Each structure stands twice: as structure tokens, then as C-alpha cells.
Structure 1
């Protein structure tokens, strides 16, 4: 009797261990190269608009792939999809490391890495739901969430130290560690039969093309790319309205509160991601800090604060309500950006404090956006709606990185706009911080007005 109980328990624990490894490294792969973007730009003599594609390329396929794997999990074996993702991720890592001296190969490798790594967040939760007993799922989700937060936190520090002591190209090899999970997952995960179902490949292609052309527009600001992107999205909208099983359910577009939560949340998440990608350039240009100092001293404390603020935000939402916590989160981010804009050349360690409160505000905001979106959905819409929120969040981060890279390159904001006496090299970054304040303030105001109006009508 003891044996029959202990064997399944041991199996569940082993599955959870390897899922944690995958979750940790998938997030680490997002953050680890961020601090090296200025070094990459210098090595290839590229502007930030091009260099930021090292992260944008990953986030692009990562976001689309997350939605894609989620759809495929209903039709194909989870085991095969997960192993495929691990293999592709490692393959992209090796290609990137071997060909890191050629910029097109580096970008191509990041596309491949994102395609493989997307399987982890999309499928790990499905595996937990299928393999972990119901009474232990809460602990499992909590453990995985903590490791994801830890991966976001230590990623910049690890990236900065390795890039400073060795070379940024070695960071590309970090995801290959996930290959150790393959033999264990083959043994532990059950064989599943293939399920029948329709897959909207045309919808995926149209949506992906629209996103790619829009990101190309943010890099080069060529109107032709923007026009192609708009045309492709219009065709995509027409397609999903008539498709039998569309990639994105058009009925969700009629849910006003859901759409406001997704769109305004996306603007905020994209703004913070753009800020994070801008900081290494700013620290190099204004303070001439090393890559290791930027990763460990500037970014690391802020990213680790997510763990604490995330818990506080969850407690406050239950006690004070969503709008209260959202307002605090926006206030933390806005005030931090404003302080950084006005005192940008005071001391580099001011940016460490700014990072802590920006990520603290982001934690509050993420908690609220998830709560608002979830509460706006009917039970039958919950799965598709939350998947779309995750997809939009990842995509917004990639878009934010691309847009900030483009703005840093065309230097449209490289002029004195604030009554501050700073070095000319700081003007651009100070004005960018003001732009960030405007975007998140407008997003907050729109969410507040719509949320209150809809609640008043209910």
C-alpha cells in the first residue's frame, strides 16, 4: 500500500522538478542578453534600432509561439511538443554561438531560440494540470511562479558578469542546459494519442506577417512597412470572422473591459520592457559603467523586487480592490520615471532605486490587469481570453523593445526639453523617460474611466 502511494508521488515530484528547470531557463533566456545590447551594437557597428532586434527577434517568435503551442496542445502530444521545443531552443543556441560574429545569423538564431522556448510557458501549466494531483497544484504553480520571477531577477546579473568576464556570445549557450531534462521527460511523461481538430494556419501566418512588418516599421520608420502591416491585419480580422475555428476568437473583441485590460496592459508592459532595454545604453553613454555593473548593480535589485511586490499586490487587490492597486502601481512607475528624468546625471545608483520602484509598480499592475481580464470573462471564455492576454503581454514587450531602439537611433528626442542642466548625452534619455510617463498615465486613465463606467452600468 505504501509503495503504490509513494511511486505516483515520486513521479509527480520528479515531473515538477524538471518543469521548474524549463520555466527558469525560459525566462532567463529573455533577460540575459539585455545588458549586452550596447556591446553588441558596438561589435557590429549597429544603431540601437538594429541591435535591439537581438531581443525583439526572440520575443516575436516567443509570443507567437506561446499562443501556437497552446492551440497545438489540444491536438498533439504534450510530450512531443515539449521535447520539440527543448530541441529547437538548444539548436538555436548552438547556431547563435557558432555564428555570433555574423549579425544576420545571430538574429536568425534568436528567432529559432524564441520558437523553441515558447513551448515552456505554454505547456508547463498544461503538464501541471494533467500530472500533478489537484491538492498539490497550488504549491506547484507557486513554485514555478517563484522560479520564473527568480529567472527574471538573476538574468541581468548573470548576463552582465559573463559578458564582462568572457564575451556576450557565451550567453547564447545558457539555454542548452535544458537538454538535461530530455531523458527524464521521455521517461516520466505519458504517451498521448493524437486528438482531432482544426488548426487555423492561415490566421497564424497573417497575424505573424502583420506583426513582423509593424516591427520593421518601428526599426526603419518606412511608411511602406506600416501600410503592409495595416493591410495584413485588416485581412486577418476579416479571416477570423469567417474561419471555422479562428486562431483568435473575434467574440472577445466585443468584450470592452477585456479589450481595455489587454490593450492598456500591453502598453504598460511594452513601455517597461522598452525602459529596461534603454537602461544599458543610458548607463554606458551617461555614466560609462561596465556591463557587469549595469547587470548586477543597476538592474538586478529591481528585478528581484518583483517577488516581494507581487505578493503585496495580490494581498492589496483582495483588500482594497483593483483600481486602488492599479493607481498605486502607476504612481510608483510614473514618479520613478519623473525622478530619473529630472536627476538623470546625479548618480548612477539613483537608477537602482528607480528600478526597484518601477518593477514594484509593474508587479502591482500585472496583478490588477490579470484580475480585471479574468473577471471580465465568462467561464467558457477563460482559457482563450487568458491565453490572449499572455500572448499580448509577450508581444507588447517585444514591440516596446523595437520601438525604443528605433527612437534611440533616429534621435528625434535628442534635444533639451526640460529645465535641467545636464550633459547633452543625457537629453535623449531624459525625454524618453518623460514619454514613458505619458504612455502609462494615459493607459491608467483610460482603464480607470472605462472600468468605472462599466461597473456603474452593471
Structure 2
């Protein structure tokens, strides 16, 4: 389990790096005199490369040793950090972020592959619980660290924090000794086509562009035709003929499409309805993420001892309870929201552990790397879709909505409706999911 602890530490830095720059966007916009759309590429570019890199490193893990992939990725992460730290113009900042993302995306890929290859199936839930805890902790620390650094120092020091990832390289090289190197051909053209298709999808989602959406559909059509004809395609079509894998992936995406929006939605609620400052919002959200990280380890043990289904039932109960109560108490005290986030974040962490564990059990052989990479990539795309839909709803404003049908009125009404819809959506997906997972 030593390698899992090192992996979790790397996951904290990787995820934290993706969230802490959100706080620095106003400072970047002011220093380089940018528009909101221009400065958003610091985050958007990172997400796009991160999603593509997850499946790419997953595929490469079928051909190359994990310790070498991790060494390469973390060194690239460090190069991007140095470039961003020394940036004298905005182009260098974006280039640094892209290099960071291209390197850091090896971590989510490894977090899916290492537990499968290095941990017995009877303890895999515990391993996934530890890595999921790292993800939750990184999500919690990101805005807080970003706020502290930008308050007391230059935003460039956010890049310097990421250099801590270098200390994990010797440990990865020491502990990852059991890699099986397979003589698998890497389909470069297929990888490029997939990367272009995913890029167009994420750009279409984040910019809400119909033209880009059409181009994305066309590119995916090209990918499908290519995959069917290529002798050794980047993504083996047999992966999707695996019914258990396909159904579990569908359930995961349906659950995560709105679940992953909560870290975006809650700050909007607390800022708009409760009128809290950015620093106070970070403090309100921190306990939920921290406790969820601690309980993630317990969730992994539940999966190992009592099975995935029990863990997923607990996750469903916690999520439905949280979204229903937030819908009722939106507009009330932010202390209530803080307490509910503890329950909701724990439910989300349990769901991520159970779903990743369920997906991993449907894969074998050369399907493991690219299959788990696809799981991570589709998770990012699902979150981007949900966030964009919520952004459009919030952009409509609050005056067009009727008074709150529950306890409060005014601006809290829209958020109340959103969380009520979340609860209904989750109830239906969990009902469908449990029936399908039993069959799978």
C-alpha cells in the first residue's frame, strides 16, 4: 500500500493544480489586460489537455512501464511549472499550463491502473478509497491555497507549489517494479483523431458553439470509421462490445454529469444568495471536502468487506438526502449548507470509489489501461457538460423564476429548483444503475 499513499499525494498536487488557479484569474486578467474569455484559457486549456492525457497515458501504460511514464509526466509537469513561474507574458502562462496539464494527466491514469495491477482485488476498494481521498483533498485545498498565495504573494508562486511533485519520482521508480511490458503497437493517427474529437467536444461545451458541436460529431464519425478499419486501433472496438464495461460507464457518466458540478454550483449559491466573500466560501466548503477525504478510506474498506453494491447504496442515500435538504434550505444559514456538504461530499467520494471499482472489475489484459483512461476522460466530459448547462441556467438571471415553491423566496429559488432536479435525476439514475449493475 506504500505506492498507493505516494499516488494519493501526487493526486492531491495534480487536482489542486487544476482548481487553485481559478482564484488567480482576476489577478492575471488585470496584469495582462485580458478579457474574461481570454483569461479563461488558463483553466479551459488545462481541462482539455488533462482529459486527453488521461486516456493517452492509459493507453501508453499497455506498452510502456508505468514508472517511466510517471517519471516523464512528472518531469513535464515540473517544466511547465518553471515556465509559468518565469512567465513575462500571457502566452508563456498558457504554455506553462498546457505543459503542466500534459504532465499531470499521468496521475489520474496511474490512479486507475496501479490499483488494478498492484493491489489484490480483495483490497482494491481500499486502494481506490485512498486515491479518491487524495482527489477530494486536492479539490478542497486548491481554492484555499490559491486564495492564500494570491493574497500574500504573486500568483506565479502557484506554479512553484507544483514542483513538490518531483519528490515522488524516486518512490514511484522504487515501488513500481512489477510492470509487464507488452509488445503493443501504439496507433498514433488514431490517438491524434481521438484527441481532436475530444478537444472539439470540450470546446463546443465550454463555448456553447453549434459549429464546434457539428465538427465534433463529424470528427467522432471519422474516429469510428478509422477504428473499425485499423488493424490495431488506439481504442479497441472490443472494449465497447464488453457489455458490463459499457453499461457501468454509462451509469457512471449519468451520475457524474451533475455530481461534479456541485463544487462549481455551491460557490455561486453562497456568493449570490448568502452574500459571502471568496475567502469565506472557501472556508465553508473546506470541512466537507476534508471529511470526505478521510471517509474515503473507510468507503474503500466497506467495498472490500461488504461489496460495491453496499457502498453504492450508502452513496445514493447520502446524495439524495443532501440534495433534497439543500433544495429545502437554500437561502437559509450557510452553516446548514456547510454541514450538508459534509454528507454530500462523502456520498460523492463513495460513489466515485464504487464506480471506479465496478469499472475496473469489467476489464482485463490490454483493456485495463485504455479502459480506465476512457473512464477518467468521460468523467471530465460529463462534468463539463453539467457545468455548462448550469452556467446557462444561472446566466438567465433570477427575475424570470417564480417565488420559491419551498421555504424561501427571491434569488435562492433557482438554486432550490436545481437541487430538487438533482435529487430526482439521482433517484432515477440510481434506480436504473442498481438494476443494471446486478445484471452485469
Tell me the residue number matched to 1:360: 346
Encode CA deviations 1:348-371: one digit per residue, 9 max, x unaligned: 222211221111111221233234
C-alpha distance in 2 between matches for 1:247 and 1:333? 36
Match 2:278 to one of 287, 291, 297: 291
Asked if 1:205 is matched to 2:153, the reply is no
Tell me the residue number matched to 1:237: 224
Q: TM-score by structure 2 length? A: 0.80
Using the TM superposition, give the Cα deviation of residue 319 of structure 1 relative to its aligned residue in structure 2, in angstroms: 6.2
Gaps of 5+ in 1: 1-11
Whether the aligned pair in 1 keeps the contact of 2:201 and 2:216 (CA below 8 Å) is yes
Tell me the residue number matched to 1:120: 107
Higher mean alpha-carbon deviation, 32-41 vs 243-252, is at: 32-41
Asked if 1:61 is matched to 2:45, the reply is no
C-alpha distance in 1 between matches for 2:427 and 2:393? 20
Match 2:161 to one of 154, 159, 174: 174
Tell me the residue number matched to 2:375: 389
Encode CA deviations 1:210-268: one digit per residue, 9 max, x unaligned: 22222222233222111111111122122222222222222222233322211221232
Whether the aligned pair in 1 keeps the contact of 2:51 and 2:380 (CA below 8 Å) is yes
Per the alignment, in what secondary structure is the counterpart of residue 254 of structure 2?
helix
Higher mean alpha-carbon deviation, 416-425 vs 439-448, is at: 416-425
Gaps of 5+ in 2: none
Whether the aligned pair in 1 keeps the contact of 2:194 and 2:223 (CA below 8 Å) is yes
Whether the aligned pair in 1 keeps the contact of 2:272 and 2:411 (CA below 8 Å) is yes
C-alpha distance in 2 between matches for 1:372 and 1:194? 25
Tell me the residue number matched to 1:339: 325
Using the TM superposition, give the Cα deviation of residue 131 of structure 1 relative to its aligned residue in structure 2, in angstroms: 10
Tell me the residue number matched to 1:3: none
Using the TM superposition, give the Cα deviation of residue 325 of structure 1 relative to its aligned residue in structure 2, in angstroms: 3.6
C-alpha spacing 1:214/1:128, structure 2 compared with 1 (3 Å): closer
Using the TM superposition, give the Cα deviation of residue 429 of structure 1 relative to its aligned residue in structure 2, in angstroms: 3.2
Encode CA deviations 1:258-306: one digit per residue, 9 max, x unaligned: 22211221232332221102222332222332322222x2221111222
Higher mean alpha-carbon deviation, 350-359 vs 423-432, is at: 423-432
Tell me the residue number matched to 2:286: 300
Using the TM superposition, give the Cα deviation of residue 115 of structure 1 relative to its aligned residue in structure 2, in angstroms: 0.8
Whether the aligned pair in 2 keeps the contact of 1:161 and 1:291 (CA below 8 Å) is no
Whether the aligned pair in 2 keeps the contact of 1:35 and 1:294 (CA below 8 Å) is no
C-alpha spacing 1:328/1:45, structure 2 compared with 1 (3 Å): farther
Asked if 1:416 is matched to 2:411, the reply is no
Q: How many residues align?
A: 437
Per the alignment, in what secondary structure is the counterpart of residue 287 of structure 1?
coil
Asked if 1:84 is matched to 2:91, the reply is no
Higher mean alpha-carbon deviation, 347-356 vs 276-285, is at: 276-285
Asked if 1:223 is matched to 2:172, the reply is no
Whether the aligned pair in 2 keeps the contact of 1:100 and 1:169 (CA below 8 Å) is no
Whether the aligned pair in 1 keeps the contact of 2:81 and 2:162 (CA below 8 Å) is yes
C-alpha distance in 2 between matches for 1:318 and 1:183? 30
Whether the aligned pair in 2 keeps the contact of 1:414 and 1:427 (CA below 8 Å) is no
C-alpha distance in 1 between matches for 2:38 and 2:273? 21
C-alpha distance in 2 between matches for 1:378 and 1:140? 18
Tell me the residue number matched to 2:299: 313
C-alpha spacing 1:207/1:108, structure 2 compared with 1 (3 Å): same
Whether the aligned pair in 2 keeps the contact of 1:129 and 1:137 (CA below 8 Å) is yes
C-alpha spacing 1:384/1:187, structure 2 compared with 1 (3 Å): closer
Match 1:369 to one of 345, 355, 370: 355
C-alpha distance in 1 between matches for 2:323 and 2:434? 21
C-alpha distance in 2 between matches for 1:314 and 1:144? 10
C-alpha distance in 1 between matches for 2:34 and 2:409? 24
**Residue correspondence of structure 1 range 31-180 to structure 2 within 5 A:** 31-34=19-22, 54-76=42-64, 78=66, 80-97=68-85, 99=87, 102=90, 106-123=93-110, 147-166=134-153, 170-180=157-167
C-alpha distance in 1 between matches for 2:323 and 2:232? 43
C-alpha spacing 1:350/1:28, structure 2 compared with 1 (3 Å): same
C-alpha distance in 2 between matches for 1:316 and 1:171? 36
Q: TM-score by structure 1 length? A: 0.77
C-alpha spacing 1:428/1:128, structure 2 compared with 1 (3 Å): closer
**Residue correspondence of structure 1 range 6-25 to structure 2 within 5 A:** 21-25=9-13
